[in-house]
Structure 1
Amino acid sequence: MPGSPDSTAETSAERLVGQRRGKLHPAIARTREAVRTTLAELPQGTAVLVACSGGTDSLALAAATAFEAPKLGLRAGAVVVDHGLQADSAHVAETAAEQCRTLGLAPVDVRVVEVGSDGGPEGAARTARYDALRDAADELGADVVLLAHTRDDQAETVLLGLGRGSGARSLAGMASAVGRLRRPFLEVPRATTAAACIASGLRPWHDPHNDNPQYTRVRVRHEVLPVLEEALGPGVVEALARTAGLLRADADALDQLAADVAETALSRAEGQVRSDIGVLVEEPAAIRTRVLRQAALEAGCRATDLTAGHVASVDALVTDWRGQRWIDLPQGVRAIRKGGFIILGPDVTG
């Protein structure tokens, strides 16, 4: 789970700090530059919120934002999400909030959330967190929410996508900007955020979940990436993050082409989505499956539950029709071939 460094990052950070004392440390300069680049496009007076857990990455982001935002004429606050998953979570959240206030961020809002069970522990916590960030932004009038994911987090995300057998969109990792969300540190190593905190005298919180092998991301961080670095040599993290950027450009282009096809291929009525087989069958698989995925989402499937396998089964109704009855999809959505269309919805029958 992103937010705090592992021991390797801390050791690297200590070495970085030891290299430059008595002047602005390069790690602080780099975090500030990353934030400045992200915020520079915003109009003066824009309200910005930093999502801060109190961990190394988000605390470095809070410090850099507190420094850069006023220089650009922006208003900068913070939101701390208390997931309630540990006995001292309220204390941890308040400590993070107080550090944000000390840095000069205002307002600083603490949000207590209830983590459900859908999507597993990591997915449920993520859903609760993003819901809280959205609500805080709405209530506080913030136009932008800054997240502290680093280059290391991006590399881990790519590996997780590979392990799931995901397509290009998943392997493209996290976007630097989507909606109100911005991720200034996607090209910044975790060791740099740790070094920035040490050089600034900040006191990050270390989330014990970041060492718990129960979580898939933790196993990737502590077990998989070190093995890859040993086998392939240094630079694996950078290469994975670079791959994500290249795939994102490709995926964006394909998504735009698919959106254009969807304008013709899809129609909606009475809670159902109809996909025109005659249009879809002429398209390459990369476009066709994107359109069908969009149709499934519009019909009621959740993106987190809709797998590539589901989409492939629906695609078979177009390209490998053998009289299949229907395909059951998440959230009770069903896909069936009828009268030259693939019809998707919760109440579809043959």
Structure 2
Amino acid sequence: MTIDPQQLRLRHGDLLARCRFPAAGTAITCGVSGGADSIALLVLAVAAGCEVTAVHVDHGLRDGSHLEARWVAEVAARFGAGFRSERVELEPGPNLEARARSARLQVLGASAALGHTADDRAETMLMNLLRGAGPDGLAGIRPGLRHPIVALRRRETENVCTLEGIEPFHDPSNSDPAFLRNRVRHELLPLLQDLARRDAVPILVRQGELFAEVADHLRHAANSIDVTDAHAVAGAEVVVARVAVREWLRADLPEAHPPDAATVERVLAVARMESRSTDVGGGRRVERTAGRLRLVSPDDSVPVD
């Protein structure tokens, strides 16, 4: 028997008030792995009155993973949601966590809702800090239609499952110390909380909001610069010029070659006439010609549109 969304709203209204789902009747796709966070996403999206399709991505990394997809399908049916499952093949090797995430996001698409929580936001901020990220990365996961339940805590998503009588799937890889996120979750965050003598997640989330404000201000200022005008880039505030160059490169370079800090600084050196050209990854380079910056392809002659 399908569960009445009105009953869900009565049970979870306090949580819904902190979520960012679209208007009732809107069709949305939710990535649902079967863990507590994604199951809560599904339940709350239905409670919000959305027309929900749950999408399960099977990486085929564990025996019996097809059974997880079948179980998610049953949960989706119970809540009146649509369902589809997609399988992706991943080769063993390094960076498995990142490759699995990339494959999953590619299947889900840019508009799918994801079940990240405030705990995930705090973890992501710390991971990005360790990678040397700027304000945008230190903002972590931002609230919005892509991340409608990011204001909730992990314990709250677990409670949603408990109230609905659902035993979520526990992915054993979430305890594997080979993955950076797991070490941040199980080692670094508990240490920070011990040092702070209080829950560190709200502190980190607040810092993320402040970094988001800074990042948005810098991006707005960067958008006023013609990034192909070497003189304009060289004359801008360095912090703004960095953002402008990074966004330009990020938009045009292959996903496998995102611009790092050193690459951005080399492009700024080209704009300041300290060098004529520089490699920027992906077999491409930026060169200065007649006062203009151009991103050119590997054959040295074809500008990238």
Q: TM-score w.r.t. structure 2 length?
A: 0.87
In the other structure, the counterpart of 2:134 is 167
Quote the Cα distance in structure 2 between the aligned partners of 1:118 and 1:130: 19
Residue by residue, what CA displacement relative to the aligned partner does 1:141-166 show, whole Å, maximum 9, x if unpaired?
Answer: xxx53211000000001001110111
SS in 1 for 2:18: helix
In the other structure, the counterpart of 2:17 is 33
Contact 2:233 2:268 in 1 (8 A): no
Contact 1:57 1:190 in 2 (8 A): yes
Q: Percent identity?
A: 31
Structure 1 position 326, deviation (Å) = 3.3
Quote the Cα distance in structure 2 between the aligned partners of 1:116 and 1:226: 33
Q: Structure 2 counterpart of 1:87, which letter?
A: D
Contact 2:270 2:276 in 1 (8 A): no
Taking a change above 3 Å as real, the CA distance of residues 277 and 25 of structure 1, as seen in their structure-2 partners, is closer
Quote the Cα distance in structure 2 between the aligned partners of 1:315 and 1:168: 19
In the other structure, the counterpart of 2:88 is 113
Contact 1:258 1:288 in 2 (8 A): yes
Contact 1:151 1:188 in 2 (8 A): yes
Structure 1 position 279, deviation (Å) = 1.0
Quote the Cα distance in structure 2 between the aligned partners of 1:348 and 1:175: 39
1:228 pairs with one of 188, 192, 202: 192
The higher-RCO structure (CA 8 Å, 6+ apart) is: 1
2:124 maps to 1:157: yes
SS in 2 for 1:205: coil
In the other structure, the counterpart of 2:47 is 67
How many residues in Structure 1 have an aligned counterpart in Structure 2? 295
Q: TM-score w.r.t. structure 1 length?
A: 0.77
2:64 maps to 1:88: yes
SS in 2 for 1:182: coil
In the other structure, the counterpart of 1:52 is 32
Structure 1 position 338, deviation (Å) = 3.6
1:104 pairs with one of 74, 80, 93: 80
Structure 1 position 25, deviation (Å) = 12
Superposition RMSD in Å: 2.7
Residue by residue, what CA displacement relative to the aligned partner does 1:254-286 show, whole Å, maximum 9, x if unpaired?
Answer: 21221221xxx24xxxxxxxx221111221112
Contact 2:257 2:282 in 1 (8 A): no
Contact 2:9 2:47 in 1 (8 A): no
Quote the Cα distance in structure 1 between the aligned partners of 2:203 and 2:94: 29
Q: Structure 1 counterpart of 2:38, which letter?
A: S
Structure 1 position 116, deviation (Å) = 6.0
Q: Structure 2 counterpart of 1:61, which letter?
A: L
Residue by residue, what CA displacement relative to the aligned partner does 1:109-134 show, whole Å, maximum 9, x if unpaired?
Answer: 11112236899222211111111112
2:105 maps to 1:130: yes
In the other structure, the counterpart of 1:244 is 208
Taking a change above 3 Å as real, the CA distance of residues 115 and 34 of structure 1, as seen in their structure-2 partners, is farther
Quote the Cα distance in structure 2 between the aligned partners of 1:131 and 1:60: 22
SS in 1 for 2:141: coil
Q: Structure 2 counterpart of 1:195, which letter?
A: N
Structure 1 position 90, deviation (Å) = 0.9
Please give the residue correspondences for 1:1-350 in structure 2 after superposition, counting only pairs within 5 Å.
Answer: 28-35=12-19, 38-39=20-21, 41-42=22-23, 45-69=25-49, 74-105=50-81, 107-115=82-90, 120-134=95-109, 145-177=112-144, 181-261=145-225, 265-266=226-227, 275-302=228-255, 305-319=258-272, 321=274, 324=275, 326-347=277-298, 349=300
Structure 1 position 213, deviation (Å) = 0.7
Quote the Cα distance in structure 2 between the aligned partners of 1:118 and 1:250: 37
Contact 2:116 2:147 in 1 (8 A): yes
More helix by share: 1
In the other structure, the counterpart of 1:12 is none
Q: Structure 1 counterpart of 2:203, which letter?
A: A
